[in-house]
Chain A
Amino acid sequence: MAQVVTADRNRSLHEDALTGDEDAFEALIGPLVEPALRLAYSMLGDRMEAEDATQEAITRAWRKLSQLRSGMPLRPWFLAIVVNQCRNVRRTRWFRFVRTKAIVEPERHGEPAVENIDLARAISRLPDHDRQALFLHFYLDLPIEEVAVALGISAAAAKGRIYRACHRLRPGLLEEEI
């Protein structure tokens, strides 16, 4: 999953895709579909919804491919499109997504009592943007710089967001440890 695909490494595929070569585009974007789908599922909580968002993100990536500059890493660029698409789904006027686990979760009472609760539940209680940063960094193994690109924030902000989230899970954690 820690696969890094850059436009440089795939220069010929990128150039071929820009000319309308669908096979080249599939070879370029294909390895990123699974992490994209997992990210979308993490944000939306529903497989069909995640597939719809990922498919729409692929369509947008095709349209925006000319904006991907040479040397720019493909993975965070594409995942940023996925993040934006998922955010669009969630803010749509007609639609309010309800995750089942949000219904069955117990009431929130202040900060998570760190040592005594299930870590998964504690993660699910984090603000969405902190949770997304953790998912990209710890599950998809993206370096801080790629997390920053995917979330549309600076590297320092990405690092701060990950630290803040970790600190809520483990208050004794030092920033230097990240």
Chain B
Amino acid sequence: MDKLRPEIHEAFATEQSKLGNLADSRERLVRGALAARAVHREGRMQFAAGVAAVVIAALVIATFAYVRNGIGPARHGPPVPASSPTPLSRPLNVSNDTPVILYADPVNEAQVDGITWDGKQKGKVDWPTKQAAANPSANLFATGGAVHDRSGALVASGFFGGKSFAGTWADDGQQICLMVPATLPINATSPPAILQVVMPGQAPRNVAQVGRISEQVFTGVAACSVRKDRAVVVQSFGNSPSTAEYWVVQLSTGKVLWTHTFDPSSATLVVASPDGEYIAESAVAQTNPGSAIYSADGTLLARMNARVDGFCWDGSLAVTNGGDVSHSVSVITWRSGNVLWTGPAGYILPRVQPQPDGSSLAIWISTPTQLTYANGPHADLYVIASDGHVIAHVHETT
């Protein structure tokens, strides 16, 4: 036993050495816990206020039903749309550096509306056209050959994909990661494509040659983080989202930090957090959906029995979906598995947008019927806070 004790201690010490320096842990974790306690307390107050609001609302509705219909069984009718019956007419009046979420006006699809991330301000936005790709804050808009600001003024011209925008805005909101062919014309024997970082108005910088571009192969950038010095480049074969390979590339050196290859016949969806720190690989099959989350160096961090469709800005929250209408769209803290928000049943997930430098998520979800509308697919927009409460909800947008 005397001999065993130091041996066991040493074995655990070797394992614990991987923890690294804990010098700052004490103060940071205690302070974090006390701050979380304050949030819990606020949450409880909000919950109590919410319950009170629900009770009051129920009383109002019950009174209304009593007056209108008399006492009797509840009547069920078609759902009443909550959207405004006329298009928003007031311009969105916020400063250019205030991040907003853009969506098509539920009444007039040709009109673009915007809402602030706190849900407090909403209005129409004259620019951009819906074909332009907005940066994370939605204050710069790129087409294949130009970048405009929110007022519509030209910021820069250049090659950003040609006919249409083919890049990915970086997490600084200013630069763009772009995949371009190494040679033209492209064919099956073309050399690997070039990952470029472009500051609009300046010459592009070639970073690395990874992935291929041809008629049957698409290579794009899932995450472009100039702040964290990396990009996640994804190559898919055939119909998206079947993924065949992806690379984590260091932007300053072009070094491939990690790569993962798949069998092209097993359709896999790859999404990355905006900083490229977390990469989720999800089986696209609608039965038994499953996913694995990796760090940027390839360490397997977690497995989940749901598809991951997106992350919040720092990657701590994931938006998951079972893959079909029998599952609900959820927002979860993927490290703990804590489910923060679950969407209504019968919806599937087309799109996720993280709040830049924040923790909220904009989630567009659709019923199968909404996806088959003659004038194009529709969706309901939910803005979800990091504690799971719904900040805003817009019906029947795109």
Contact = CB atoms under 8 A, between A and B. Distances in A.
23 contacts: A22-B34, A26-B27, A26-B31, A30-B26, A33-B30, A34-B26, A37-B25, A38-B22, A50-B19, A55-B29, A55-B36, A58-B30, A59-B34, A59-B37, A59-B40, A92-B338, A98-B300, A123-B12, A134-B12, A135-B12, A139-B8, A139-B9, A139-B13
B104 to A, nearest CB: 33
A111 B29 CA distance: 39
Interface of B: 1, 4-5, 7-9, 11-16, 18-20, 22, 25-27, 29-34, 36-37, 40, 299-306, 320, 332, 334-339
Given A47-B19, A100-B300, 20 more contacts: A30-B27, A30-B30, A34-B22, A37-B25, A38-B16, A42-B15, A46-B301, A52-B336, A55-B36, A59-B33, A59-B36, A62-B33, A94-B306, A94-B332, A94-B337, A95-B337, A119-B8, A138-B5, A139-B9, A166-B4
B33 A56 contact: yes
A139 B29 contact: no
A119 B11 contact: yes
Given A94-B305, A94-B306, A98-B302, A123 B11 contact: yes
Contacts of B320: 94
A139 B337 contact: no
A25 B34 contact: yes
Contacts of A42: 12, 15-16
B354 to A, nearest CB: 19
Interface of A: 22, 25-26, 29-30, 33-34, 37-38, 41-42, 46-52, 54-56, 58-59, 62-63, 89, 92-98, 100, 103, 119-120, 123-124, 134-135, 138-139, 166, 169-170, 173, 177-178
A134 B299 contact: no
Contact of A94 (B1, B13, B301, B339): B339
B127 to A, nearest CB: 41
Contacts of B334: 94-95
B8 A37 contact: no
Contacts of B15: 42, 120, 124
Contact of B30 (A29, A50, A98, A119): A29
Contacts of B1: 166, 173, 177-178
